[in-house]
C-alpha cells in the first residue's frame, strides 16, 4: 500500500480531525468506520507529538515544519543542536553564529541548504529562549 505525507498546519489538522469524527459518526459502513478511526488515531498521535514540543511555540508554521522534517530525516532535534552549539562558544554577532553553524552542518544535513530562512528563524528563536544575545552590527 502506498503511503503519502501531507504538510498541514495545526489548524488544518484540527479541522480535518473534526470532519473525520463527523463522517465516522454518520457512516453506516463498518469498514469505512474502522478506516476513519485509524486515520483519527494517527491525527491524535501527530497532535500529541507536536504538543511534546511546546518550546517551538512562537515559530512560524514553516519553521515548525522544517524542524519536524529535519528530525524525521536526520533524527536530530534541531532546537537542542542549536542550543548546544550556542552554549559551547560565544558569538558576538548573529551572522557569525549562523555562518559557523551552517558551514559546520550543511554537508551532513543538506536540508539546511534549502531552508536557510527557517534555520535563521530557529537560531533566533532558540537564542531568545535560552537567553543568548547577539550584538547589533554597527
C-alpha to C-alpha distances, 76 to 14, 39, 82, 105, nearest whole angstrom: 26, 27, 10, 12
| Whether the predicted pLDDT of 2 surpasses 70 | yes
Computed over its alpha carbons, how large is the radius of gyration of the chain? 19
| Mean per-residue pLDDT, 127-135 | 88
- Name which of 45-54, 59-68, 124-133 the model is least confident about: 45-54
C-alpha to C-alpha distances, 95 to 16, 30, 38, 110, nearest whole angstrom: 40, 58, 46, 20
Q: Taking phi first (over 0 means left), then psi (-120 to 50 degrees means alpha), and beta for anything else, what does residue 131 get? A: left
| Whether the predicted pLDDT of 65 surpasses 70 | yes
**Grid coordinates standing for 135?**
550584538
Confirm if 52 and 68 have CB atoms less than 8 A apart: no
| Whether the predicted pLDDT of 1 surpasses 70 | no
% pLDDT > 70, the chain: 95
Residue ranges of the domains in the chain? 10-51, 59-130
Confirm if 109 and 74 have CB atoms less than 8 A apart: yes
pLDDT (tens digit per residue) in 77-89: 999 999 998 888 7
CB neighbourhood size of 136 (10 A): 7
What pLDDT does residue 63 have? Answer: 94
Amino acid at each position: 500500500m502506498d503511503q503519502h505525507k501531507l504538510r498541514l498546519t495545526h489548524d488544518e489538522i484540527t479541522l480535518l480531525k473534526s470532519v473525520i469524527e463527523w463522517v465516522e459518526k454518520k457512516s453506516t459502513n463498518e469498514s469505512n468506520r474502522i478506516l476513519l478511526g485509524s486515520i483519527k488515531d494517527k491525527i491524535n498521535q501527530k497532535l500529541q507529538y507536536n504538543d511534546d514540543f511546546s518550546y517551538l511555540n512562537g515559530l512560524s508554521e514553516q519553521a515548525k515544519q522544517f524542524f519536524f522534517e529535519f528530525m524525521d530525516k536526520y533524527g536530530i532535534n534541531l532546537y537542542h543542536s542549536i542550543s548546544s552549539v550556542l552554549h559551547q562558544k560565544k558569538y558576538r554577532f548573529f551572522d557569525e553564529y549562523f555562518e559557523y553553524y551552517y558551514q559546520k552542518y550543511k554537508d551532513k544535513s543538506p536540508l539546511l541548504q534549502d531552508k536557510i530562512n527557517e534555520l535563521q528563524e530557529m537560531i533566533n528563536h532558540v537564542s531568545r529562549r535560552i537567553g543568548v544575545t547577539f550584538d547589533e552590527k554597527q
